[in-house]
Structure 1
Amino acid sequence: MNASTLPAPLPTSCDLLVIGAGPAGAATAAAAALTGTDVTLVDMQDFPRDKTCGDGLTPRAVHALTRLWGGDPTLPSPHTGDVGILAGRPEIRGLALHGFGGSVHSPWPEHPAFPPRGSAVPRTDLDDALVRFAASCGAQVVTGWKAVEVHHAAASTAGIVDAVTFRAGRQTHTVTCRTLVLAEGVRSGIARQLGVTWLRGLVHGIAARSYCTTPRGNDPWIHSHLELRDAAGTAQPGYGWIFPLGDGVNLGCGALSTSTRPAKVNVRKLLGEYADLVRPEWDLGTPTQVASALLPMGGAVTRVAGVNWATVGDTAALVNPLNGEGIDYALESAQDLVALLPDAVRSPDGLRHLWPAHLREQYGDAFSLARRLATLLTMPGLLAAVGPLGFRGPTAPVVMGAATRLMGNLVTPDDRDLTARAWLAAGKLSAAHDRFWHEDSRPLFG
């Protein structure tokens, strides 16, 4: 590394240090900076940068983005004047679900909290816009530094974080902080040093994503194919998605996996077969920028906070096991954490119990049930057996309407309609079962 490629300098200290500048980290930095907090946001990569993702934004994600943006995200932010982050982006009306001899177009359901629209933005653009927004809000954004070591306060028996050391080439620099937020993902080295362990024995996802040209880039539906077959007509253990992006689509596929029933599928090969399957209908170009990733899900981590540190977004495995959606939870958890920081300062335990309790209240029951259902879907032949019931006959719109709501994360603890009550009650039973049987011998959101 020569002088011309040296990264920007890091500060010596800050009130709030955020590591990882994806949606969770950038939203944390922006929300905290708007309160007047001295925030430093650090990422090892320069922006814009790519991220393997489906690029979809559900109504819940649009709502969380609106809350952060300070108003309609298609318009300039009233906080900073930044250009609308969803300006000119597709307006998605709902899900189009395909498979088992049928197709159902299911609009987003009416909900008092969430808007009746979704969207889709390539993560290269979304993440870059959120980082620039955080900087406009007053956060100091520094890229090119990798966090390598966490330091604890002297004589601390509670594991209070005092500082983090970063490395860029042969340079190292240590930043002291009052509060640390981790947003790098569950495989972050700093997260592991603080005891954040990904429970890979629980259900997780494997996925591949690509970009394709098509004249249907402004299609108003997110398409999901729940039955995939190869060129020989053999059913494959995965599902496919198409997210319209305006000038093309994000096309990808994924599969669910556990340690006892690992997904025996090459998702990159499956993606190619899926593209061939839908090419005539969509007039698809050749898939480009193919990338794959593992996806922690359902809060499957053993620890999410200490006295003065906490995890948000993917680092806390805040991803829906039924659909792989995590941007909404990333944006929500970031803003919720910032709102709790004043209470944490007044408690000798800080965030150590406050943050796990909040995550359990907001997501614990739903994640428990979703993990259980997703685990069932890893059983060979189960989806093929029950799938036709949802796609055929007069009840298909009702069944798929409920499925759209659940797959879109559009149930909250405050909802009282029949679908919500059934889902929430089942979630409480599932969570109680987990606690009774000590699932994986370790508590989630611990």
Structure 2
Amino acid sequence: MSLPSSTDVLVVGAGPAGSAAAAWAARAGLDVVLVDAAVFPRDKTCGDGLTPRAIGELQRLGLEDWLRAHTVSKGLRAHGFGQTLHLPWAVPGSSLPDWGSAVARTELDDHLRTTAIKSGAQAIDGARAVGVRMEGERVAAVEFRGSQARTSTSEGRGPDSDTFEIACRRLVVADGVRSPLGKMLGREWHRDTVYAVAGRSYVDSTMSDDPWISSHLELRDEHGDMVSGYGWVFPLGNGTVNLGAGTLATSRRPAEVAIKPLMQTYADTIGDDFGLSGELRMPTSALLPMGGAVSGVAGPNWALVGDAAACVNPLNGEGIDYGLETGRLVAEMLASQEHLGEAWRSTLVEHYGEAFSIARRLAGIATVPRVVSALGPAGMRSDWLMTLALRWMGNLVDEADRDRAARVWRWAGRRSMARDARPPFS
């Protein structure tokens, strides 16, 4: 079967955002082609954790039974400054599920892509977007390179030449944090707001079945100096854990820590407590734009979603949930209206602007180690403050929530937005 030459909706990038967009658009009856540069299954630098917000989106896709066959977490165990707190996902006032999980991205992304295919999308892997053909301000087609490109319905070779083109009426750009296709369309990342440099690895652990994910809020380098960031241990239920560390930075206070050595120091520090053994395997790192710190997120017939639109929580680095959400939201817009442009940017601002604004302001404060050292001990001594922090940092405020914590968060977001020199997505 030959590769398609045209489609109604072309989705570039088959991570959570792209696969969700493809699945929902196909279920709405649209003709969808989903293309990715990698050959699946493929790995992705990530903590692999799934918060209740992500669980809710996966439930919408019909994947709850599949998820429950994996590890199920009760909540977050927070460590730091001589304290350990257990903070359940079941937070009073939240409308989100009361459980979380962790699935390696090699498996999660492959399953989500398969879900999109079963929903009716045609998938192509091994094809990288290398150019765009425009008609005025609209995208007419995307050019791909990949002589071994494969469709989901054929194991055959791609076209005779290395490059081929797919014409489209609408384009969804879901090609990750670097978003090379987004850059071709004018996407710009603004580093004056907080961003993260994060790394992850896998290591054997006797706590692989631990019902709590762990986060260490007091992260130190090999010299014992405080680092502006956090470490995590996410049990995978298969004899291993995902162990990683991230540092926060801005253009004024850039990250100057080597992530892989920092992960090793972190593992050495907590190894006995978590029953770690063996070497850190598959260490990788990534630079994360966060909090909507990009402009050029949409045009007349194209839109950026997920990591490509910097939809990453500045307080915890979580992006899977926003990827799944923005994939669903853009599919709803594709099914209901022809023009994207300002409508999609406004949708992102409406759903995430206030929360991203206040979160990146708070995360910017956390880039100063002495502030973390001063405030951390007081915060960790208060279950009430840390429960609020979990609610806000863990994306556990849903639009349906009307309790006091949710109202305070929205109020702070509105005040923050009003003071932003460059609000999210602008």
TM over 0.5: yes
Measure how far apart 1:364 and its partner are: 0.1
Distance 2:419 2:265 in 1: 39
Give 1:314's match in structure 2, choosing from 280, 304, 307: 307
The answer to whether the 8 Å contact 1:43/1:143 transfers is yes
Residue 101 of structure 1 corresponds to which residue in structure 2? 82
- Superposed CA deviations along residues 11-46 of structure 1, whole A, max 9, x for unmatched, are 110000000000000111111111121100000100
Residue 276 of structure 2 corresponds to which residue in structure 1? 284
Residue 141 of structure 1 corresponds to which residue in structure 2? 123
Give 1:368's match in structure 2, choosing from 351, 357, 362: 357
Q: 1:212 to 1:111 in 2, by over 3 A?
A: farther
| 2:287 is the counterpart of 1:294 | yes
Residue 164 of structure 1 corresponds to which residue in structure 2? 142
Give 1:377's match in structure 2, choosing from 366, 369, 379: 366
Percent of aligned pairs with the same amino acid: 51
Residue 264 of structure 1 corresponds to which residue in structure 2? 256
Distance 1:256 1:10 in 2: 42
The answer to whether the 8 Å contact 1:160/1:307 transfers is yes
Structure 1 residues 424-443: aligned runs within 5 Å: 424-434=410-420, 438-439=421-422
Measure how far apart 1:238 and its partner are: 2.7
Distance 2:332 2:365 in 1: 36
Residue 282 of structure 1 aligns to a residue whose secondary structure is coil
Distance 1:57 1:117 in 2: 9
Measure how far apart 1:10 and its partner are: 2.5
Structure 1 residues 411-422: aligned runs within 5 Å: 411-422=397-408
Residue 200 of structure 1 corresponds to which residue in structure 2? 191
Measure how far apart 1:168 and its partner are: 1.4
Residue 177 of structure 1 corresponds to which residue in structure 2? 168
Q: 1:383 to 1:67 in 2, by over 3 A?
A: same
TM-score between the two structures when normalised by the length of structure 1: 0.89
Q: Which amino acid aligns with 1:94?
A: G
| 2:425 is the counterpart of 1:445 | yes
Q: Which amino acid aligns with 1:148?
A: V
Give 1:274's match in structure 2, choosing from 262, 266, 273: 266
Q: Which amino acid aligns with 1:106?
A: L
Residue 72 of structure 2 aligns to a residue whose secondary structure is coil
Residue 68 of structure 1 corresponds to which residue in structure 2? 61
Distance 1:378 1:264 in 2: 12
Q: Which amino acid aligns with 2:75?
A: G
Measure how far apart 1:200 and its partner are: 2.0
The answer to whether the 8 Å contact 1:186/1:197 transfers is no
Distance 1:135 1:343 in 2: 22
5+ residue gaps, structure 1, are 1-7, 76-83
The answer to whether the 8 Å contact 2:50/2:320 transfers is yes
Count of matched residue positions in the alignment of Structure 1 and Structure 2: 410
Measure how far apart 1:176 and its partner are: 0.6
Q: Which amino acid aligns with 2:34?
A: L
- Superposed CA deviations along residues 345-388 of structure 1, whole A, max 9, x for unmatched, are 2xxxx111111111111000010001111111112311110001
| 2:355 is the counterpart of 1:355 | no
TM-score between the two structures when normalised by the length of structure 2: 0.93
- Superposed CA deviations along residues 156-187 of structure 1, whole A, max 9, x for unmatched, are 3xx01111111115511111111000000242
The answer to whether the 8 Å contact 1:26/1:130 transfers is yes
The answer to whether the 8 Å contact 2:94/2:396 transfers is no
Distance 2:376 2:244 in 1: 20
Task: Please tell me the root mean square deviation across aligned C-alpha atoms, in Å.
Answer: 1.4
Measure how far apart 1:403 and its partner are: 1.1
Q: Which amino acid aligns with 2:69?
A: G
Distance 1:48 1:135 in 2: 14
